[in-house]
Amino acid sequence: MKVSVIIPAYNEETKIIETIDSLRQALPMAELIVVDDCSNDSTGALAAFQCVKVLSHDLNLGKAEALDTGLRNSTGEVVAMVDGDMGSCAREIAGLVSAVAFDNCDLAIAKFSSSKGGGIGLVRNLARWGIYLLYGLKLAAPLSGQRAATRELLEQCLPKKGGFGLETELTLNALSRGYRIKEYPTNFVHRGHGWKLAGFKHRGRQFIHVFRALLRGGYQWRRS
């Protein structure tokens, strides 16, 4: 079964090579696709030197659009999503790919082993309880962006836009269509945005985006 890994990246020159190397070691036969979302550093050039497919946006469009670009240009029956800054942890996606490939689920979500960089879990709890109230599934890591899924699921459920609500909306779309979702423990490490003003602003935007994703999911739930 062919596997594609989409790596959305924006200004990740310090981590992109390590991420690619880690994925190549864990999934040597996989199609690796880096989507450079209009970085203003050397992310795209460094990725190109690693002999992987590199797709570049002329404008910074966001992660949802980067994943959509990668999906449309990939060929795998199983498609994994790994952030460009995962570094050596990127290899952890192999377990999720296996879970989908062996039909244990349609969407596998990585649970992180630890979290660094602040935050009190407000946005995570918003997503967790919103998903639970709408569909009865309680997830430990509803915001995790490290995932693997069938191509069919992603073609039907991946939002074209969504900002920081992307993962929440993807989960809700999948549940509304009856797909099987499971979480798996990994050694991925979540890196937060710290306790400085920029970190609080980031979490504020994230809260709004996730709330909007839940509203869209609630509207869809009422229609079903």
What is the chain's pLDDT, residue by residue, as a tens digit (224 residues)?
999 999 999 999 999 999 999 999 999 999 999 999 999 999 999 999 999 999 999 999 999 999 999 999 999 999 999 999 999 999 999 999 999 999 999 999 999 976 555 554 899 999 999 999 999 999 999 999 999 999 999 999 999 887 889 999 999 999 999 999 999 999 998 665 444 555 556 567 889 999 999 998 875 665 66
Query: What pLDDT does 218 receive?
Result: 72
CATH 3.40.50.150 fits 3-223, yes or no: no
For the chain, the first-to-last Cα distance in angstroms comes to: 33
Residues 119-157, buried b or exposed e (16+ Cβ, 10 A)? beeebbebbbebbeebbebebebbbbbbbbbbbebbeeb
Query: What pLDDT does 199 receive?
Result: 57
Query: What pLDDT does 195 receive?
Result: 44
Q: What share of the chain is helix, strand, coil (3-state, %, to 5)?
A: 45, 20, 35
Query: What pLDDT does 222 receive?
Result: 59
**Helices (H), ranges, 27-177:** 43-48, 63-72, 93-101, 122-135, 151-157, 166-176
Backbone angles phi, psi at 153, to 5 degrees: -60, -50
State both tokens at 96. Answer: 């999720």
State how far the Cα of 78 lies from the Cα of 90, in Å rounded to an integer.
16
**156: nearest Cα among 111, 107, 109:** 107
Amino acid type, 45: A
Query: What pLDDT does 223 receive?
Result: 63
Query: What pLDDT does 202 receive?
Result: 56
